[in-house]
Structure 1
């Protein structure tokens, strides 16, 4: 990885149709590239509204293969702008088999790799287990012309094991495309607790692994397809350094491109003074592979 890396998190609303959302994402990517950005990260499932608020078999018609129509378009965008892009797509792997998949496009337009979301939630308003099969590609960084990218997706961000395994496999930056928001019935106090927990746990991954983190969320209210409530996506995308320091962040309303010029040598410097990898008691960690210790 080069010594400096200019990165962007594109915080945007995703409540319109696929073509409009994709065109808007491309517009933002192009604008970021004009500012010299090397890496642009889009929110989770940025092609349309967050459809997992309900369970509906008609939604499977939105899935597409990889490579497929959207990857062809984003490949051209990456090549034309000489920029690395992280996009997440509703992948149809086979009839009846679907994934929530991050695709990384390199500066030459090639697909550098993909990551299938490993942790799949099943909560009110987030019925992802109905749509997505858990990933089977493991926690492996994706090699690109700008370095090794540890791409994880949304619910993965709550699991320190996922971040650690990416770091142990050589990831140089942790990336979290996200679609997370508030239930309209939550109190303001509960909303604040949830948002703070979300930021804190990801900053913790940066600290524990000595790596920068990019967390990119969507914004805006998206009503439930059954007209029973909806989700206010809280935004607050951010870029953090390897000590968890916030380098750039947004609020819950900003339709914005967060840009920061990362000094990638800081990770080495931080790991030298905080040698967590050196001091890990791997001889005592076998129980981490158990569901629970009775």
Structure 2
């Protein structure tokens, strides 16, 4: 996906700020962006630089800068998102019916609807940032939102300085974290950048932080918006001027990094500690090494069988990572790949046959015993048993884990069963669906050089 950060200077004129924001959305859409992120309180000057008592003494109520969700400005932003066919995340000072005001970010869908909102959780207060005078803490905690590009978490400005904030949305499965910000030139921007890079690395997420820019009375906003990858590297960084900062994000990279470096899989996801609005994902990977060795013990002395499931597991693992599977689905896939032929010995012993239909009938019961002994979660066991019970059935394939298991098994069986080049090509055309699986097939069996089953 392509993300665009609309680093903007705000004026005292709300209508002008809104019109310029709409223009930014239009430009981002024309440049092929899928999502546009705005800075903190994008429709107004940074009013929190003044104590509320000071403004009240001038006859200005603290809520004077706020709008309601029904305001024409929200309608205009939604219409712009729809016209440009992009997701938009504006940050706005919002007033609710009960009079409470929030520092709120929305996620608007490409059809113009509101996917949801997230409010600032931890309210800061210090000179130039009298935010406790204006903002009410979030009632709901940190939230994530599902999109076709991945799960998006929103962490507003100061909240990012609390490590549990980004960890919270990561525990809820976020692949991308959006941060609307208002950082000043006099603040330690190098430390802020290091903070974001470390958080992205530790939580296996992309982080996009969009800052304000320009002079507002005594304040000078720094710009220097930044996009960081899940490995902690800076992918794009803005200047200190107005700018539309863009970057292409490979969401599967977030999944891959979490599989390789699952730090947060060992966190105890306490909802109170992490202020989570939703449930945490199951992120602790079962030990595939233990399962592999258990299966080796089960097939002890049968080198061809052990080599077969080792190869299927390797291909399944590679395809799963290439397709960006979430942690839970990847675990299911790998377990099924290791165990997929576990019914073969029972079939040969009881029926003198290794027919696929017999393996499908006899395998799940054997897999259940092995996985239960190793302490696998029941939900994982159930899906693995289903896959084992269907892995020779090539119609009505349901689920990416099922699809990849079949592809991985075929990659190995084409050579082991000495299929003809015509049979191999037919399998490619009728079975293979994933981009990674197709690439592996062509690496093994190039189209320009016909596959020879007799060539060793």
State the partner residue of 2:21: 25
Q: Pairwise mapping of residues 153-168 of structure 1 onto structure 2 (< 5 A)? A: 153-168=156-171
Distance 1:262 1:96 in 2: 39
State the partner residue of 1:220: 214
SS in 1 for 2:193: helix
Distance 2:194 2:176 in 1: 17
* Superposition deviation, residue 145 in structure 1: 4.3
State the partner residue of 2:251: 264
* Superposition deviation, residue 48 in structure 1: 1.8
SS in 2 for 1:94: coil
Structure 1 counterpart of 2:235, from 247, 250, 254: 247
Structure 2 counterpart of 1:73, from 71, 76, 91: 76
Q: Pairwise mapping of residues 25-174 of structure 1 onto structure 2 (< 5 A)? A: 25-54=21-50, 55=52, 56-57=55-56, 58=60, 59-174=62-177
Equivalent pair of 1:105/1:113 in contact (CA under 8 Å): yes
Q: Of Structure 1 and Structure 2, which has the larger fraction of its residues in helix?
A: 2
* Superposition deviation, residue 97 in structure 1: 1.2
Distance 1:202 1:212 in 2: 10
State the partner residue of 1:203: 197
Distance 2:9 2:178 in 1: 19
State the partner residue of 2:429: none
Give me the CA root mean square deviation. 1.9
The TM-score normalised by the length of structure 2 is: 0.56
Distance 1:241 1:269 in 2: 12
Q: Pairwise mapping of residues 164-203 of structure 1 onto structure 2 (< 5 A)? A: 164-183=167-186, 191=187, 194-203=188-197
Alignment gaps of 5+ in structure 1: 184-190, 224-229, 290-294
Alignment gaps of 5+ in structure 2: 275-456
- Spell out, residue by residue over 1:136-194, the C-alpha distance to the aligned partner (whole angstroms, 9 max, x if none): 121120233443210111001111101111011111200100112145xxxxxxx4xx1
Could you say if the C-alpha distance between residues 221 and 121 of structure 1 is closer, same or farther in structure 2, counting changes exceeding 3 Å? same
SS in 2 for 1:90: strand
State the partner residue of 1:238: 226
Distance 1:135 1:288 in 2: 14
Distance 1:269 1:170 in 2: 13
Q: Are 1:278 and 2:265 counterparts?
A: yes
Distance 2:176 2:185 in 1: 27
* Superposition deviation, residue 95 in structure 1: 5.0
- Larger RCO, structures 1/2 (Cα 8 Å, 6+ apart): 1
Distance 2:145 2:273 in 1: 25
Equivalent pair of 1:217/1:237 in contact (CA under 8 Å): yes
Distance 2:73 2:141 in 1: 24
Distance 1:22 1:269 in 2: 39
Q: Which moved more, 1:164-173 or 1:141-150?
A: 141-150
The TM-score normalised by the length of structure 1 is: 0.86
Equivalent pair of 1:112/1:144 in contact (CA under 8 Å): no
* Superposition deviation, residue 288 in structure 1: 5.6
SS in 1 for 2:96: strand
* Superposition deviation, residue 272 in structure 1: 2.0
* Superposition deviation, residue 233 in structure 1: 0.5
Distance 1:236 1:97 in 2: 32
Equivalent pair of 2:104/2:119 in contact (CA under 8 Å): yes
Q: Of Structure 1 and Structure 2, which has the larger fraction of its residues in strand?
A: 1
How many pairs are equivalent?
A: 267
Equivalent pair of 1:113/1:143 in contact (CA under 8 Å): no
State the partner residue of 1:10: 6
Distance 2:266 2:192 in 1: 27
Distance 1:118 1:277 in 2: 21
Distance 2:258 2:109 in 1: 28
